[in-house]
Structure 1
Amino acid sequence: MTGNIDKRPLITVVVPVYNVEQVLHESIDSLIDQTYTNIEIILVDDGSTDSSGSIADDYARKDSRITVIHQTNSGLSEARNSGIRKACGRFITFLDSDDVLAKEYVEHLYDTMIETHADISVSGILPFDDSKGVASAYARKKRDTARNNGTIITFDSETALIDILYMNHMAVNAFGKLYKIELFDDICYPPGKLYEDIGTTVRLFNKAHCISFVEYQDCFYRIRKGSIQHSGFSVKQLDLIDNIEDFYPLIRKQYPKAIPAYKSKMVSAAFNIYMKTSEHSTEQRLWRNRLWTIIMTYRRAVIRDADARPLARIACLLSYLGPHVTRMVYLLTR
């Protein structure tokens, strides 16, 4: 640990909570057990219809560091924004209420930020299958010493944006990062949008002078059946495309070297959503056409980009055989 714990700055952890009564205790327990103890935990009950709100209140009665906000259901973005407005910490981090943190998560991110004078520090993320439980994540973390050796990589805004758009070390998610609170002075999460993280993360990275990634898989991401990432197609999933298109002017004007990474990210997003559509649905034809047009627009650039993810380049090559063949190969290789 670094110095006297009680003298270190207050760090705020914001946890949006919605209908997660079966797993909420694991998330909150992982916060209570943090080795960095000078934290405030803001649980934002976003209109839960199960016992999640009551569970949060029970924890608050037992631990003075916990505050609960109860609000009408407004979505993940507004829950995070409510927590940001309430935050008293010099730094802030986020946890989704079905995910879990290693006990050193805050400590590692704080130490990394101080050591590198960063505005944002970033942890590795370790996905785990809900059916196998969080113990499987701890076991994988212990085995994978290469991704848990504490190596630090520093980025400026441009190289950090390239990294997250190529999905190399860092992800676009709100969680898994520690931010200086002042970065949110004029930035918030967009209400009513799915995939709300991506555009906000891009804008936060744009404001930061230094972003540091530390090689620890301290954020355990629960994969659940029926989640946005693992569900069938809905029109709301096109929010991802809208959010990516929305920050293109920033990339084009200020970070031209990141344009290839932007194209790679857009193609990956378009393929991901396209494969959830049904080629037999006439109602989805308009959305399929929009997604396929994006793929055709960027595929040549992605194929030629040696830094693009191999799967993205392969998918772009397959796309020249047409959407039907591309879909068949995708289904066969899943």
Structure 2
Amino acid sequence: MSNSPKISIVAPMYNVAPYLRECLDSVCGQTLADFEAILVDDGSPDDSGVIADEYAAKDSRFKVIHKQNGGVSAARNDGLAAATGEYVFLLDSDDYLAADALEKLYAKAGNGQIDVVLGDYVAFSDTSQTVYRVANKPFESTDRKMLDAVQLAVFNMGPADIAYGEIHMLRGVGAAWHYLIKRGVIADNGITFEPTLKGLFDDGCFTLHVLEAAKSVAYAQTPTYYYRHVAGSITRRFGGAPFGKYEAVYGAIESFIDECNKGEVFNRALCLRKFIYLNKSMETYFFNPQNPASEDKRYREFISLAKSPVYADAFSQVDASALGCKKSSLLLWALKHKGYRLYWLAKKHVVAGGK
């Protein structure tokens, strides 16, 4: 009989000392006690590694890997390589788990019968907390079309409406922390995180491959995860024009679509991701107060980008019904009809705090 734990939690750590104890306390307090927690100190310059060692010293279920900084994808890969559990859960170390998260997810897995299990989440900050359901009703399925529906929801960010029969995926589910994953699905198919994406949609690409290899998927309609909004995270801070990084993601998605023969529906989903990233760039780049360029120069750069081969033909292919958000649908309408000035002014109003 195997001595392997039911679940391996893999948590990369970099500059998360202010939040790490809350995260690790939530792991210690799990109602399902049969787990191992692999904490990967990615060369963090703060006290994250020290705090992790402290937990490992008092609880043998915790294991710490100290390594030179190599980015979150490489850290996750190191953690997965060390995992021995039946299932794997990827935890971001500035977030935390609901007390019964592992128990609820493992129960939904049906004693190892289900390859991938989804749970709901709570997004929170210092001033707010919102519970999000990722689908309209619980489900368990071995239907490839249901797995495809979950895959399509990986492309969304925020609201979604991806329907298969009576099931509607209501939120984007690209983040790896949405899932409890049978470790064999990852190991047997050689699935890893891609370090060259530098933490941008590496979760999504990993999840697409996991769901492609999986034979079954289930959804437990209960909040299992607490996601912290951190103002200075990799997805929010100003770092110049992001479009080269975005194009690397598009290339990785195109490779997935081609290799797995996913077809036109997934090509349209890639176009949706292009629309999402253009929207995101308005906040993080074009209207970022740290951007030193004049508004006229930024607008001309936006026009050039929107008309470029990467984006020009994408907007007409996006299915607005999949967005699950009326405001996003109106912005998409403007781009589809080449109403670039209207789109620019609408995004400027939103970023400035307008409704």
- Scaled by the length of structure 2, the TM-score of the pair is 0.79
Match of 2:284 among 254, 276, 281: 276
Distance in 1 (alpha carbons) for counterparts of 2:92 and 2:346: 34
**Residue 323 in structure 1 maps to residue 340 in structure 2:** yes
Stretches of structure 2 that go unaligned for 5 or more consecutive residues are 161-169, 287-292
Tell me, what secondary structure is at the counterpart of 1:189?
coil
8 Å Cα contact 2:268/2:317 also seen in 1: yes
Match of 1:96 among 92, 100, 104: 92
CA shift for structure 1 position 18? 0.8
Query: Alpha-carbon deviations, 1:139-183, whole Å to 9, x = none?
Result: x55xx8x78998335463322212322443451011121111122
8 Å Cα contact 2:242/2:281 also seen in 1: no
Tell me, what secondary structure is at the counterpart of 1:313?
helix
- Go from structure 1 to structure 2 and tell me whether the alpha carbon gap of 1:86 and 1:285 turns closer, same or farther (over 3 Å shift): farther
Distance in 1 (alpha carbons) for counterparts of 2:223 and 2:57: 31
Of 54-63 and 116-125, deviating more is 116-125
- Go from structure 1 to structure 2 and tell me whether the alpha carbon gap of 1:295 and 1:179 turns closer, same or farther (over 3 Å shift): same
Distance in 2 (alpha carbons) for counterparts of 1:323 and 1:233: 24
8 Å Cα contact 2:320/2:332 also seen in 1: no
- Go from structure 1 to structure 2 and tell me whether the alpha carbon gap of 1:83 and 1:152 turns closer, same or farther (over 3 Å shift): same
Distance in 1 (alpha carbons) for counterparts of 2:242 and 2:285: 12
Tell me, what secondary structure is at the counterpart of 1:277?
helix
- 1:205-284, aligned counterparts within 5 Å? 205-236=211-242, 238-251=244-257, 253-278=261-286, 280=294
User: What is the RMSD computed on CA atoms of the aligned residues?
Assistant: 3.0
Query: Alpha-carbon deviations, 1:12-60, whole Å to 9, x = none?
Result: 0001011111110000000011111000001111111111111111111
Per the alignment, residue 296 of structure 1 pairs with 312
* 2:271 aligned partner, one-letter code: K
Distance in 2 (alpha carbons) for counterparts of 1:275 and 1:292: 19
Tell me, what secondary structure is at the counterpart of 1:40?
strand
CA shift for structure 1 position 86? 0.7
Match of 2:115 among 107, 112, 119: 119
Stretches of structure 1 that go unaligned for 5 or more consecutive residues are 1-5
8 Å Cα contact 1:198/1:244 also seen in 2: no
Per the alignment, residue 314 of structure 1 pairs with 330
8 Å Cα contact 2:242/2:285 also seen in 1: no
Per the alignment, residue 152 of structure 1 pairs with 139
8 Å Cα contact 1:274/1:291 also seen in 2: no
* 1:180 aligned partner, one-letter code: K
Query: Alpha-carbon deviations, 1:310-332, whole Å to 9, x = none?
Result: 33321122234543432221121
- Go from structure 1 to structure 2 and tell me whether the alpha carbon gap of 1:81 and 1:312 turns closer, same or farther (over 3 Å shift): same
Distance in 1 (alpha carbons) for counterparts of 2:237 and 2:35: 35
* 1:311 aligned partner, one-letter code: K
Could you say which structure has the higher helix fraction? Answer: 1
Per the alignment, residue 3 of structure 1 pairs with none
* 1:90 aligned partner, one-letter code: E
Of 93-102 and 147-156, deviating more is 147-156
* 1:165 aligned partner, one-letter code: F
Per the alignment, residue 167 of structure 2 pairs with none
**Residue 163 in structure 1 maps to residue 159 in structure 2:** no
* 2:235 aligned partner, one-letter code: Q
**Residue 14 in structure 1 maps to residue 4 in structure 2:** no
Distance in 2 (alpha carbons) for counterparts of 1:277 and 1:173: 22
Distance in 2 (alpha carbons) for counterparts of 1:12 and 1:64: 13
CA shift for structure 1 position 287? 8.0
* 2:52 aligned partner, one-letter code: A
Identity across matched positions, percent: 24
* 2:180 aligned partner, one-letter code: L
- 1:62-73, aligned counterparts within 5 Å? 62-73=58-69
8 Å Cα contact 2:134/2:171 also seen in 1: no
Distance in 1 (alpha carbons) for counterparts of 2:47 and 2:243: 28
Match of 1:32 among 16, 20, 28: 28
- Scaled by the length of structure 1, the TM-score of the pair is 0.84
